Amino acid sequence: MSPFDAAGLVGVALILAAYAAAQLRVLDPTRPPALVTNLVGACLILLSLTRAFNLSAAIVEAAWALIALFGLVRALIARD
């Protein structure tokens, strides 16, 4: 397994863990811990796609990362 594949698998695990934790109400999906987990997960999957590119996967992961980043910025601004 290449480092790119490993990064992608870690990314998938992070996103699935964040989603499961949100569904179980362990994490609030609007708070920074969940948003950072989603952002890092999506970025790791995007990294893995640099090795074996897939346009549809790249679009969904880029959107996932941008949405998580937007939520993170909004949460950090609201904190002030």
Q: Which two tokens stand for residue 31?
A: 């708070």
What's the pLDDT at 79?
84
Q: What is the pTM of this model?
A: 0.93
Measure the CA–CA gap between 18 and 41, rounded to whole angstroms: 9
Residue 69 is predicted with a pLDDT of: 98
Amino acid sitting at position 34: A
What pLDDT digit, counting tens, does each position of 12-69 carry?
Answer: 999 999 999 999 999 999 999 999 999 999 999 999 999 999 999 999 999 999 999 9
Q: At 80, is the pLDDT very low, low, confident or very high (cuts 50, 70, 90)?
A: low
Alpha-carbon torsion (16, 67, 40, 47), positive or negative: positive
C-alpha to C-alpha distance for 18 and 11, rounded to whole angstroms: 11
- How far is the C-alpha of 20 from the C-alpha of 18, rounded, in Å? 6
